[in-house]
Structure 1
Amino acid sequence: MKLYKLSPSPYVRKVHVMLIETGLIDGVELISGANSPMDPDPELTALNPLGKIPALVRDDGGTLYDSRVICRYLDAKAGAGFYPESRIWEVLTLEATADGMLDAALTMVYEGRFREPEKQSEDWVEAQWLKVARALDALEARWMSHLAGPVDAGQIALGCALGYLDLRHEARGWRNGHPELSAWYARFADRASMQETAPQG
C-alpha cells in the first residue's frame, strides 16, 4: 500500500497512528508531497479528485480517501477492533466530533493563510472557535467515561485533534476549564504511536 501524506496534517497523523496501532505500518510506503487547497498536486488529484490528503492506494490499485474511510479500512484489514461493534455508534460519534473540531481549527488557519488580509473575517474565525469550544465542553461533560475505556478509533481521532490545537492554536488555551480531558490527553499523548507521529511544525 501507499499513503500519500503531507505533514503536519492532523488527518494524515490520524491514519499514521492507526497504521502503527494496527501493526500495518511496515507494509505501507509513505509518500510526501506538496499540496494546498489553492494549488493541489496533480499526482494527488489523479488519485483523489478532491485533491485532499490522506489518500491510500491499496494493493489492488484502488484508492481510498477521507481519514475516516481509511482508518475503518485499516482496522478491518488488521482485525484490530478499533471500531468495536458493541460501541460502534459512540466510537463513530466521537470520531466525527474530533474531525469536526479539526475542520473548524483548520478553517481558522486557512482564513489567515489563504485569504487576502482585507477579506479575512475575525467574526468567522471566532465562530469556528466556538465550534471547538462547544465540543471541548461536551467532551469534558459527557465523554470521559468512554475515554477511560479501551483505545478505539474515536480516541485516536481526538488525540490527533487535541494535538493540532496545541500546534496551531496553543494561545487559545483549550485546557482551561477541561481538567479531565487535559489529563486524558496527557496520558494518551504518551503512547508510542502518538510520540512517533508528533508534528514538528
Structure 2
Amino acid sequence: MAYPGTPAMLILRSSPSSPFGRKAKLAAAELGLDGLLLIENTETVVPAEAFLRQNPLGKIPVLITEDGQALYDSRVILEYLDHRAGGGKLLPADARRFDVLTMQALADGICDAAVVMTYEKRFRPEEFHYQPWLDRQQDKVSRALAVANARPPEMGTTLDAGCIALACALGYLDLRYEGAWRKDHPGLVAWLEEFSARLPAFERTTVQP
C-alpha cells in the first residue's frame, strides 16, 4: 500500500534503542545506502494514527519507500535493502543463504526475548511480574548465546544479515542488561569487536544506558 506525500528518500521509522531498527540502519550503512535514509523517531507506546496506518501492528521499524510503500518488519526491510543494492549481499543467493537466515532468526529471537523481559519490568508493577515467564525468556537468550558463541558467523566480503542481526542483539543486551552476557561468551566478545571495527556505523548507532 502506498501513502501520498512521501519525500524522495527512504524513511526509516524507528527509535534509537530498537535493536530491530538498528539492523536496518547497519544494513543500509553496509550497503552504502545510508545516504538515502531519513530516520524518524517513532513512539510505539502510544502510537500516532498516521503510524498505525503505515503499520497496523504498531511496531518498529517501518521503512517507507520513495513511492510511499510501507515495509515491515526488519527482515523484510533487509530483504528490500539487499534488493536495492543489487541482491546477494546481505542474503547470499547460494546455499549459504539458509545459514544466514537461521543466524538472523536466532539473533532476532534473542532480541524478542530480551525486549519481552525489558517491557515486563518497565511496564508492569513489580508485584505482577511473573518470574517463571521471565525465566523462560532468559533461558531462550542463554541457549541462543551458547549456540552463537560456539560458532559465531563468519564475516565475508559483505557483512550479511546474520552478522548484522547478531551484533544488534548483543548491543541490545549491552544496553538493557549491562553486558552481563560478556563474562561467559568470550568468543562473541571477540567477534563483536571485529564486527565493530569492520562497520563504524555500529559505534555510531550505539545508545548509552
Indicate whether the TM-score tops 0.5: yes
Pick which of 131-140 and 191-200 moved more.
Answer: 191-200
Q: C-alpha deviations, 1:118-169, integer Å up to 9, x for none?
A: 211122212111100000111122x23x335442110000001000001101
Please say if 1:83 is aligned against 2:91: yes
Q: Is the 8 A contact 2:79 2:91 kept in 1?
A: yes
2:182 is paired with a residue whose SS is: coil
Q: Is the 8 A contact 1:15 1:67 kept in 2?
A: yes
Equivalent residue for 2:187?
A: 180
The runs of 4+ residues in structure 1 deviating greater than 6 Å are: none
Q: Is the 8 A contact 1:5 1:12 kept in 2?
A: yes
CA shift for structure 1 position 200:
3.2
Pick which of 69-78 and 111-120 moved more.
Answer: 111-120
What is the aligned counterpart of 2:23 among 1, 8, 14? 14
User: Structure 2, unaligned stretches of length 5 or more?
Assistant: 1-9
Please say if 1:57 is aligned against 2:64: yes
Give the total of aligned pairs.
Answer: 196
Equivalent residue for 1:74?
A: 81
CA distance in 2, matches of 1:71, 1:200: 25
CA distance in 2, matches of 1:115, 1:177: 30
Q: C-alpha deviations, 1:67-114, integer Å up to 9, x for none?
A: 010011101111261111221000000000000000000000000111
Equivalent residue for 1:197?
A: 205
What is the aligned counterpart of 2:105 among 92, 96, 106? 96
Please say if 1:128 is aligned against 2:134: no
CA distance in 1, matches of 2:42, 2:112: 21
Q: TM-score, normalised by structure 2?
A: 0.88
Q: Is the 8 A contact 1:48 1:63 kept in 2?
A: yes
| RMSD, matched Cα | 1.5
Q: Is the 8 A contact 1:6 1:35 kept in 2?
A: no
Percent identity between the two aligned chains = 43
CA distance in 2, matches of 1:78, 1:55: 19
Residue 148 to residue 19, structure 1, CA distance change in 2 (3 Å) = closer
2:202 is paired with a residue whose SS is: helix
User: Structure 1, unaligned stretches of length 5 or more?
Assistant: none
Equivalent residue for 2:172?
A: 164
Q: Whose helix proportion is higher, 1 or 2?
A: 1
